[in-house]
């Protein structure tokens, strides 16, 4: 559908993606209608079909755009974190800076995960993104252990997986009970402890 390329096309694509982010977060991917999204973006369905083949393609595009942003953010944070802070603070900074309070992104990426579990093609996309994210985290962890004069007892990639699981699992609980269980609690309390628990003196 998109053939040549003129200036405003990328802009309307961006506006459609922004609208999709809000709409999917509110309604869920499957229940969201194309018309809802267009309305929010200030277009009609004509604009949509001129930019995407169908709702699925939009979903992929949205995921990939925002997933890339998350990785970029993580990479830029890597440079800024103060290595002299206690581990628990460093971890808190890492996790909190990824998405300050991005409920919407949590909802959408989780829904994309479900989609990926059912759909091998999407699984590849998601696994690829996850790998990039861990690749951005690993050097930070390495640095933390180094500065502390410790060595990790398991692969750093696995520790990155752990921190991600902790965060995602914790967010789910937090968003269900925002009052009783504020976001970031788990990482803050257990993140550093678990890192220490798999460390040994450096050779």
Nearer to DNA, 2 or 182 (CB): 2
What kind and span of H or E run contains 160?
helix 156-176
Question: Could you tell which of a copy of itself, DNA, none binds residue 9, using a CB distance below 5 to 8 A set by kind?
Answer: DNA
Residue from 130, 143, 150, 184 in contact with a copy of itself (CB under 8 A): 130
By CB under 7 A, tell whether 180 contacts DNA: no
Contact between 30 and a copy of itself by CB under 8 A: the answer reads: yes
Cα separation, 118 vs 130, in Å, equals: 17
CA 89 to chain centroid, in Å, comes to: 20
- Give the number of C-alpha atoms closer than 13 A to the C-alpha of residue 148, restricted to the C-beta side: 20
Structure tokens at 111: 């829904």
Interface with DNA includes 76 (CB under 7 A)?
Answer: no
Residue bearing tokens 């459609």: 16
CA atoms of 13 and 31, how far apart (whole Å): 21
Is 120 a binder of DNA (CB under 7 A)? no
| CB nearer to a copy of itself: pick between 98 and 107 | 107
Q: Does 85 bind a copy of itself (CB under 8 A)?
A: no
Residues 2-21 that bind DNA (CB under 7 A): 2-9, 11-12
For residue 121, state whether it binds a copy of itself (rule: CB under 8 A): no
Q: Which 8-state DSSP code applies to residue 149?
A: T
> Considering CB distances under 5 to 8 angstroms, the limit depending on partner class, which of a copy of itself, DNA, none binds residue 54?
DNA
Residue 197 tokens read as 């628990």
Least Å distance, CB 58 to DNA, is 10
Q: For residue 158, give every residue at least 6 positions away whose Cβ sits within 8 Å of its Cβ, in sequence order, or none.
A: none
Q: Round to whole Å and give the CA distance between 171 and 44.
A: 35
Q: Which of 142, 132, 137 is nearest to 77 (CA)?
A: 137
Task: Give the residues lining the site for DNA (CB under 7 A).
Answer: 2-9, 11-12, 33-35, 38, 42-47, 49-51, 54-55
Which parts of this chain interact with a copy of itself (CB under 8 A)? 26, 28-31, 103, 107, 110-111, 113-118, 123, 126-127, 130, 154, 158, 161-162, 164-170, 172-173, 175-177, 180-181, 185-186, 189-190, 193-194, 196-198
């Amino acid at each position: 559908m998109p053939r040549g390329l003129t200036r405003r096309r990328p802009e309307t694509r961006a506006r459609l993606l922004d609208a999709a982010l809000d709409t999917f977060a509110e309604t869920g991917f499957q229940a969201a209608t194309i018309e809802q999204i267009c309305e929010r973006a200030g277009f009609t369905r004509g604009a949509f079909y001129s930019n995407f083949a169908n709702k699925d393609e939009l979903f992929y595009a949205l995921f990939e755009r925002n997933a890339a942003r998350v990785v970029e953010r993580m990479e830029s944070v890597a440079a800024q974190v103060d290595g002299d802070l206690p581990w628990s603070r460093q971890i808190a900074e890492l996790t909190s800076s990824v998405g300050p309070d991005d409920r919407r992104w949590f909802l959408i990426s989780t829904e994309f995960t479900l989609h990926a579990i059912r759909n091998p093609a999407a699984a590849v996309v998601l696994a690829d993104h996850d790998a990039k994210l861990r690749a951005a985290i690993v050097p930070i962890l390495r640095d933390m252990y180094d500065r502390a004069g410790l060595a990790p007892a398991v692969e750093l990639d696995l520790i990155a997986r752990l921190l991600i699981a902790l965060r995602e699992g914790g967010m789910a609980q937090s968003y269900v009970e925002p009052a009783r269980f504020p976001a970031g609690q788990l990482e803050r309390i257990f993140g550093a402890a678990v890192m220490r628990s798999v460390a040994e003196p450096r050779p």
